[in-house]
Structure 1
Amino acid sequence: LELANSQGTHSDADSSSKRLVLALYDALNSADSHAVANILAADLEWWFHGPPHHQFLMRMLTGDSNDTFRFLPLRIASFGPTVIVEGCDTARAIAWVHAWTVADGIVTQVREYFNTALTVTRIHDSDEILPATSAAGRLPCVWESSVSGRVGKSVPGLVLAI
């Protein structure tokens, strides 16, 4: 598992958020519904991009899964309240990325990407509204998925602005 964060140093909040998300994967993979319920907000916001038959996480969370799919994180990075986790299942030719939002010690949102190359860009840390095109040019890339190439097929790319 490759650990990273936005500054190259681990802040307490970033480390705590990463530990929480990794504990969630452990709970999901061991089918510990009590632990999962303690980690996720009751009104979890879920967003999905990918083939509908790859909605493994939703089926796990709703108890509608007899599948043996396991989320095995290969890389994890955090940027403020957002924790990005990437993994793949080469046997099924599936690459995945999750963008979790952690607030007050629980996960409140997940954006899930299957067989999608994801680029994460960070928007200025203020309430200032930035124009789509500005003198600063393009927004900086802070993270890019790397395992989508392991599944042996071309995948679409998306940009996540955080």
Structure 2
Amino acid sequence: MPNQQHLTPTDECNHNIVSNFYKALASRDAATVHRLLAPNIEWWFHGPPSCNRLMRLLTGCTTNRDHDDSFDFNPISIVSTGSVVLAEGCFPVGCEVSWVHAWTVTDGVITQVREYFNTSVTVTRFAKSDSVRVGSRGGDKCQCVWQSKLTDHASVPGLLLAV
């Protein structure tokens, strides 16, 4: 698992971009949110439609009048692994709904988000072994780099995300 105390400069920069995004979102700083997100951001959502709050908030489909404080996105953890930054949180306070955001940061801008609700997410990195022929059994090495913690004892679907 990535050790956040020994971040590379790129990991630290990407971590800060995503952290600043959540701070801007919490303070309703639309200018900073727009500066950090690519205008053509790629968005994937996995979960019940009623939990698709982030997209509605960022696209203007949710107004301040409709805002529900129980759905504020305050990450419990943010972990950077290369260009992918993983954030995990839950709401409301009792953590009835858990979420994971997998952000892709390219050249200082968030270009993709994969959003998962009430799903156990495991992130792996695959590396091809030079000493093994392609197509042979066991030719790839799989390294687990992150796993969601809020769904440890819950009966929820599991998902493997390869980076």
Preserved contact between residue 6 and residue 78 of structure 1 (Cα < 8 Å)? no
Shift of 1:32: 1.3
Decide which moves more: 61-70 or 77-86.
Answer: 61-70
Shift of 1:99: 0.4
- Structure 1 stretches (4+) deviating beyond 6 angstroms? none
Asked whether 1:81 is paired with 2:83, we answer yes
Judged with a 3 Å threshold, the aligned counterparts in structure 2 of structure 1 residues 111 and 148 are, in CA distance, closer, same or farther, namely same
Aligned equivalent of 2:36: 39
1:15 counterpart letter in structure 2: E
Q: How many residues align?
A: 154
In the superposition, the TM-score normalised over structure 2's length comes to 0.84
Judged with a 3 Å threshold, the aligned counterparts in structure 2 of structure 1 residues 130 and 142 are, in CA distance, closer, same or farther, namely farther
Aligned equivalent of 1:21: 18
Judged with a 3 Å threshold, the aligned counterparts in structure 2 of structure 1 residues 47 and 53 are, in CA distance, closer, same or farther, namely same
Q: Percent identity?
A: 45
In the superposition, the TM-score normalised over structure 1's length comes to 0.85
Preserved contact between residue 81 and residue 103 of structure 1 (Cα < 8 Å)? yes
User: 2: CA distance between counterparts of 1:137 and 1:98?
Assistant: 26
Structure 1: runs of 5 or more not aligned: none
Asked whether 1:156 is paired with 2:157, we answer yes
Judged with a 3 Å threshold, the aligned counterparts in structure 2 of structure 1 residues 38 and 78 are, in CA distance, closer, same or farther, namely same
Structure 2: runs of 5 or more not aligned: none
Superposed CA RMSD in Å reads 2.4
Preserved contact between residue 126 and residue 140 of structure 2 (Cα < 8 Å)? no
